[in-house]
A and B are shown apart, each in its own frame.
Chain A
Amino acid sequence: MSTAHAPTSGPVRVEVSGLSKSFGAVAAVSDLGFTVEPASVTGFLGPNGAGKTTTLRMLLGLVRPDAGSATFDGVPYAALPQPVRTVGAVLETAFHPARSGRDHLRVYCRGAGLPVSRADEVLAQVGLADAGRRRAGGYSLGMRQRLALATALLGDPAVLVLDEPANGLDPEGIQWLRGFLRHLAHDQGRTVLVSSHLLSEVEQTVDRVVIVGGGRLVREASMADLRSGADGAGTVLVRSPEAVRLAEVLRTGGAQVDLDGDALTVSGRTTAEIGSRAFAAGVELHELRSHTSGLEEIYFQLTAGREQYAATVPTEEAAR
């Protein structure tokens, strides 16, 4: 089976609503809701301890929610007639150390009623064909990630759920994973949900983001919206020989402007709005671009103070 085909089960939409889970007195996830659309890669972001893994495990029926629901085209995971043909998941990079990767995959072929030949197909798909007959205990972390991904692909699922899949991959592996996930979503129309605690890690891969902090939804947006600063958090950089006059024009229009020589940093306006204002006022522009490197800043702003385990910065006194 080549990778250039749509999943056999057709596009599937993931809906999470009102999901809550407490472990003892600790509320891991509180009233969380979001959707994951087909044919796109959705990043599930948040600092460590934000409740990402718990949410994914509830989505997949491994952890029972206290309240709320998580469904695939309206059907909870446990009620799917053939779950692995609808959803593939990468949650764990642990395997029986004495069993080969190929045998590991064959176990789950049998369990899911798939032909055992699928094992070799997915091994080739993730680039593990040569290591398939070796004991999984000898695999590197990167190889384990690939084997976990191969397991998820066995049933040719319409939905892929991946928990921190880039952990342990080398830069080459991360680049491969990015291309692979985009291919699965954009070329094959699959629904891909990938969690990460680093926005920069998935920034180039994802189309949409669901950001959580402290078990609650912080923001659900497309990357385009997040980048353009449509939520007021992004800025636009402008250079003009008439910077002072442009700043006045923009301020009159209600924008917030910082002036530094010939450069302006504008917030609360898109590039298009600024361009048309400048044109109307007859101001010459030398540069006009949205300040995309602010993405990580946006992420930090959004999740600030929501880390479960914030470390205290050691003072100089303590260091002595």
Chain B
Amino acid sequence: MTGLVRAEWTKLFTTRVWIGLLLGSCVMVIGFAILLTAFAGNPESGIPAVGTPLYEELAMANAVNVNVLFLILGIIGMTQEYRHRTATPTFLTTPHRGRVVIAKLVAYALAATLFALVVMAVNFTAVAVHAGARGDAPELSADNLGTLGSSGLALVIYAVIGVGLGALLRNQVGAIVGGLVYLFVIEPIIRQIPATSGAYKWMPGGALEALTATFQGPDVLDAWQGGLLLLGYGLVAAVLGTFLAVRRDVA
């Protein structure tokens, strides 16, 4: 299994996709940090002022806004096998296809952990510099570290979900478009409509809010429950994908 995980790492780091996604994540997180800090304390924005605990919680959790790029990282990791037809040599090397999916889950969780650490560091630096310029830079207190950490954990879990979704759908464009539509269209609607908002806390978005809860939004689970539920979605998708899609004929 170690060999298979290393094979997946070699696949990831021998093309440039990871550079694009990591740079994109850093740029996005800097952008969000600047926006958040610039409007902090502005009464019309509703964002609390720099230096307040609520602002710092929001700023530390900012990294979670790039979750979509980590989702795409996982999706590409799985679906590139079908897109570039390397599924054939991959499954010839490892006929037990479930092992390939497991290796990808592990490899992308590890890679995403590294990337998440980078994104967290970039986020903290951007917030510290900008908020510092506005008079009150947040410190690396236990609370702030905890929020930062849970946002990083959310990113790692989103990469795992990406692998699972990719295994289920196999089609790269379909999986990415489907993922985006779900995150930015379907879930927000479910969250808004009173009739379905009760179910929202059991959905990936609700679980993510629970894990990195900042705004006093709808009723959500505890943070650890949210994290487990989110991870569960990724793993269930991977298991379903293995049995329903990945084991299908590679013609």
Binding site for B on A (CB under 8 A): 54, 57, 60-64, 77-78, 80, 83-84, 87, 89, 91-92, 94-100, 103-104, 106-108, 110-113, 151
Question: Are B89 and A108 touching (Cβ within 8 A)?
Answer: yes
B121 CB to closest chain A CB, in angstroms?
Answer: 27
When A100-B14, A111-B93 are in contact, do A57 and B7 touch as well, CB less than 8 Å? Answer: no
Question: Closest residue of chain A to B15, judged by CB?
Answer: A98
B40 CB to closest chain A CB, in angstroms?
Answer: 41
Q: Which residues of B contact A80 (CB under 8 A)?
A: 95
Residue B3 CB within 8 A of the other chain: yes
Q: Which residues of A contact B89 (CB under 8 A)?
A: 92, 108, 151
When A57-B251, A62-B250, A94-B85 are in contact, do A107 and B7 touch as well, CB less than 8 Å? Answer: yes
Q: Which residues of B contact A87 (CB under 8 A)?
A: 92
Partner of A99, one of B15, B91, B94, B95: B15
Q: Which residues of A contact B11 (CB under 8 A)?
A: 96, 99, 107
Partner of A61, one of B3, B6, B16, B95: B95
Q: Which residues of B contact A108 (CB under 8 A)?
A: 7, 89-90, 93
Partner of A106, one of B10, B16, B91, B249: B10
Q: Which of A62, A89, A91 has the most CB of B within 10 A?
A: A62
* Residues of chain B in range 18-67 having any CB-CB distance to chain A below 8 Å: none
9 A-B pairs, CB-CB below 8 angstroms? A84-B92, A84-B93, A92-B89, A97-B84, A99-B11, A107-B7, A108-B7, A111-B90, A113-B3
When A94-B84, A96-B86, A107-B14 are in contact, do A57 and B94 touch as well, CB less than 8 Å? Answer: no
B170 CB to closest chain A CB, in angstroms?
Answer: 14
Question: Closest residue of chain A to B16, judged by CB?
Answer: A98
Complex-state Cα separation, A80 to B251, whole angstroms: 21
Question: Closest residue of chain A to B5, judged by CB?
Answer: A110
Complex-state Cα separation, A151 to B86, whole angstroms: 12
B141 CB to closest chain A CB, in angstroms?
Answer: 42
When A62-B249, A111-B7 are in contact, do A103 and B92 touch as well, CB less than 8 Å? Answer: no
Question: Are A111 and B16 touching (Cβ within 8 A)?
Answer: no
Complex-state Cα separation, A78 to B11, whole angstroms: 23
Interface residues of A: mostly helix, strand, loop or mixed? Answer: mixed
Question: Are A63 and B249 touching (Cβ within 8 A)?
Answer: yes
Give the size range of B's interface with the partner. Answer: 20 to 34
A277 CB to closest chain B CB, in angstroms?
Answer: 54
Partner of A94, one of B4, B86, B93, B94: B86
Residue B80 CB within 8 A of the other chain: yes
Question: Are B15 and A96 touching (Cβ within 8 A)?
Answer: yes
Question: Closest residue of chain A to B83, judged by CB?
Answer: A96
Q: Which residues of B contact A63 (CB under 8 A)?
A: 249-251
Known: A57-B250, A61-B95, A98-B17. 14 other contacts (CB 8 A): A61-B91, A77-B95, A80-B95, A87-B92, A91-B92, A92-B89, A96-B11, A97-B84, A99-B14, A108-B7, A110-B10, A111-B3, A111-B4, A113-B3
Question: Are B92 and A95 touching (Cβ within 8 A)?
Answer: no
Question: Are B10 and A107 touching (Cβ within 8 A)?
Answer: yes
Q: Which residues of A contact B92 (CB under 8 A)?
A: 60-62, 83-84, 87, 89, 91
B103 CB to closest chain A CB, in angstroms?
Answer: 8
Question: Are A57 and B249 touching (Cβ within 8 A)?
Answer: yes
Partner of B3, one of A77, A96, A110: A110
Q: Which 9 A-B pairs have the closest CB atoms?
A: A94-B85, A111-B7, A103-B14, A78-B95, A110-B7, A98-B15, A63-B249, A111-B93, A96-B84
Q: Which residues of B contact A96 (CB under 8 A)?
A: 11, 15, 80, 84, 86
Question: Closest residue of chain B to A84, judged by CB?
Answer: B93
When A78-B96, A107-B11, A111-B3 are in contact, do A62 and B91 touch as well, CB less than 8 Å? Answer: yes
Question: Are B249 and A112 touching (Cβ within 8 A)?
Answer: no
Question: Closest residue of chain B to A87, judged by CB?
Answer: B92
Complex-state Cα separation, A97 to B86, whole angstroms: 11
